[in-house]
Amino acid sequence: ADDAARATGTSVAGLRRAFAANGQLSSTPEGYLEHARVSAAHADLVASDPTRTTVAEIALRWGFVDLPGFAAAYRAAYRAD
């Protein structure tokens, strides 16, 4: 949130207020970032060759160091089991 607020020229509190008022994808900057990371990981999963790339490698590539956490976020976003 600090980096995003700085990049947009606002305070963290201002950024949080903007997300709370206008966030169609998420009501917080952190939620939006997680959604973007899960979406990027999904695109990599779809495009990858499963004989060469593991789910863990893709999750790590997008900053998910907790693989069960990635699995939960992915299931929530894509309703996948």
* Cα 34 to Cα 70: distance, rounded to the nearest angstrom: 10
Provide the H-helix boundaries in the chain: 2-8, 12-22, 29-47, 55-61, 67-78
What are the pLDDT digits (tens) for 26-80? Answer: 888 888 888 999 999 999 999 999 999 999 999 999 999 999 999 999 999 998 7
Domain coverage including residue 62: 2-78
Q: What's the pTM value of the predicted model, to 2 decimals?
A: 0.77
Domains in the chain, number: 1
